[in-house]
Structure 1
Amino acid sequence: MTRGGIRYLCGAFMGVVFSLPVQGEAIYPDPQWELAPVAASPEVSALLGYSFPQPRGVEREGIRTDGLVVIQRGKLVLERYEAPYDASKPHLTWSVSKSFINALYGVAEERGLVDRSDPLARYYRPLQQEGYARIRVEDALHWASGLDWAETYEASPLTSSVVAMLYTLGRDDMAAWAASHPVRTGPGKRHNYSSGDTNLLSAALRGIVGEQAYREFPWQALFEPLGMKSVSWEQDASGTYVGSSYLYATPRDMARLGYLFLRKGRWQGVQLLSEGWVTFSTTLAPAYGNEPVAVDDDSHPGAHWWVNAGVESQQQPLAWPGAPADTYAAWGHWGQYIFVIPSLDLVVVRTGDDRDRSFDRNRFLSLVVAAFGGQEEVQ
């Protein structure tokens, strides 16, 4: 039955944690997600109440969730949208698109086209100069290229590298503009979150797959195999996909990327990404621990994903203590997320518009775990 746009299925919480299915038993959406709506419960109501407060905030204040999709054991168990969004309307993902760039590199490595240890300059000529040629693919994926970059947004637009890249000085050729930044530290030595690193990767992908194949590569390599029908991706004037920011997709299609990683790179019997790539992507970036880290920092980088693990040598706690330690996420500006929790066989996509930073990731994940962490599958 349906209540207020939310699908429910009669059933009960069993108070036990289910076992993960073996790979051969994995369920994949073909072509749509199989529906297995969750039973109504106080925990589910609490999650929805936090995500969709009523009345919805005015003048962009407070939590403003546009869409919520929960996939468990390969089935769509919870879904809700707020107008003007619905299941068919793509959402701007902002920096979630960075994790799509990661996946494209994973496919390219699986096909033998590139190795993560390759110098990025091999595929992107503007980096073929002293001080830049030692930047490896994996350095850029860890946001550790060493380039002097300021990833600041509304608070300081006049000194922001990313604002200038997207909207003013660098907008015609974003990778070239990123490559014009001076080297600040040696590659791989210091984590510095940078949309410039991502757009360098996007431009280098042209050199990896070839100029003719580049335009269709995201679709041929990823979107079509995963059955993503809603995706569009903007290019700058030079023809490079704006890998840092401008991919649009529905939450259902965003969940497919999370599910690919949840299933260790395998999709419908085909290994699109190696298991090693998934492990590499979701392991804390080595450069992050090379300098003192803040105890309360909840942005722990992997390789173009964000991870829950902290720096053990500095006794840094989990990024999101309310979630299992194996949780990781794709994360975009103003509250766009793909959360993956392997120990719960769970993918959660949340889109929104939280410009006042009222959305609390840890609280949200705590509510997700309360609602979905102890369910037995309804037969």
Structure 2
Amino acid sequence: MAYLSPLMANTTFPSPDWESNLATPDAAINKLLEYSFPNPRAPDRKGVRSDGLVIIRGGKVVLEQYQAPYDAQKPHLTWSVSKSFINALYGVAEHRGLLKRSDSVSDYYPLFKQEGYDEIRIEHLLHWTSGLDWAETYEASPLTSSVVAMLYTLGRDDMAAWTARHPIKTRPGQWHNYSSGDTNLLSATLRGVVGESDYPDFPWQALFEPLGMSNVTWEQDASGTYVGSSYLYATPRDMARLGYLFLRKGNWNGEQLLSEDWVQFSSTLAPAYGNEPVMAEDDSHPGAHWWVNSGVESQGQPLAWPDAPADTYTAWGHWGQYIFVIPSLDLVIARTGDDRDGSFNRNLFLSLIVAAFGDREARQ
């Protein structure tokens, strides 16, 4: 299989819309579409239930399909894919010299100006290693779920402040513990980074407008903080723009919006992951508000998705929302869905992507 060097990749950018170079349907593409869009669609929210799929290669749309009522213009709730947008905003802010990822959160967020909490750095929040006592559970245990309480009950008026009142359980940076609370702390901290007056427009000024994201909504809590953990709505085409920014190492049409080092930092396995035993079958390997393919070699943990290139990484949201970036294949895949029963298999999906688009030269 001929993998494409990122240095040789086409540098086409969408302006204002994506150009199309649709692949000719063949057995591999049909197999990918049959898996992604079963016909008939299973009732009662069972099985694989894709709502949208957009694949970008060489800066152009090579495959696109939707399930009604979604189409290319209808935004989809991205759930935790929004966490990777928070990452990008911090990447822009660091590139502009507004902060360093090693800064203490307390430099920008007053509620952390207290003993212990002032040791939490921005990079700890990005790696989900704040050390705060947090339970990221959902429907299975709603009564003990920190995230359910934050989004819908006790914390909904000021999600970051409610999270900040959680006790410190472990030393910051020591253990990985996935936390939507950490993300909403980042979102609130961004107000101190860019200034109160600039904060409402910052996602648009720093990211959405430069990338040409014309159909995006981001909800705020009652305090005016963007719900960075969960509530960004976007079309797959606009989701793909974020992936393409990272595929192009932070450059957008000649302008460096975030540094190449930031992209590397984001797509590298979090240092604290593996400080405790990991499960070989676990495919949620954290980067910095992205998820990566590499595993913990010292513990014999394989790639998260063994049938995908090792450099694959993804933004990942509840019920099947994804932005996959595969630099070695010059691919970005944006997928939205409504997978409620865990049927969607990430490794199988990626293997079908590789089978359909891995041999780039043969499909030009």
Instruction: Please report the TM-score for the alignment, with normalisation by the length of structure 2.
Output: 0.98
Contact 2:278 2:299 (8 Å CA) reproduced: yes
1:17-56 Cα distance to aligned partner (Å, 9 max, x none): 4454547x51100111110000111000000000001100
Structure 1 position 335, deviation (Å): 0.4
SS at match of 1:48: helix
Q: What letter is aligned with 1:347?
A: V
Higher mean Cα deviation, 277-286 or 369-378? 369-378
CA distance in 2, matches of 1:169, 1:377: 55
CA distance in 1, matches of 2:285, 2:4: 28
Matched, 1:188 2:173: yes
SS at match of 2:81: helix
Partner of 1:234: 219
Structure 1 position 16, deviation (Å): 4.3
CA distance in 1, matches of 2:362, 2:199: 42
Point out where structure 1 has 5 or more consecutive residues left out of the alignment: 1-14
Contact 1:17 1:376 (8 Å CA) reproduced: no
1:132 to 109, 114, 117: 117
Distance 1:177 1:376, change over 3 A: same
Partner of 1:97: 82
Identical counterparts, % of pairs: 73
2:96 to 111, 114, 130: 111
Partner of 1:323: 308
Q: What letter is aligned with 1:68?
A: L
CA distance in 2, matches of 1:149, 1:47: 38
Partner of 2:47: 62
Matched, 1:155 2:155: no
CA RMSD of aligned residues (A): 1.1
SS at match of 2:198: helix
CA distance in 1, matches of 2:2, 2:324: 22
1:364 to 329, 346, 349: 349
May I ask how many residue pairs the two structures share in their alignment?
364
Summarize the alignment of residues 142-221 of structure 1 with structure 2, pairs less than 5 Å apart: 142-221=127-206
Distance 1:377 1:266, change over 3 A: farther
Contact 2:329 2:360 (8 Å CA) reproduced: no
Structure 1 position 377, deviation (Å): 6.9
Higher mean Cα deviation, 309-318 or 80-89? 309-318
SS at match of 1:212: coil
1:343 to 318, 323, 328: 328
Distance 1:18 1:342, change over 3 A: closer
CA distance in 2, matches of 1:229, 1:74: 18
Structure 1 position 191, deviation (Å): 0.1
SS at match of 1:283: coil
SS at match of 1:289: coil
Distance 1:274 1:377, change over 3 A: farther
Q: What letter is aligned with 1:142?
A: H
Matched, 1:290 2:275: yes
Structure 1 position 354, deviation (Å): 0.5
CA distance in 2, matches of 1:375, 1:194: 38
SS at match of 1:288: coil
Instruction: Please report the TM-score for the alignment, with normalisation by the length of structure 1.
Output: 0.94
Partner of 1:307: 292
Matched, 1:223 2:208: yes
1:232-283 Cα distance to aligned partner (Å, 9 max, x none): 1000000000000000000000000000000000001000010000000000
CA distance in 1, matches of 2:44, 2:224: 36
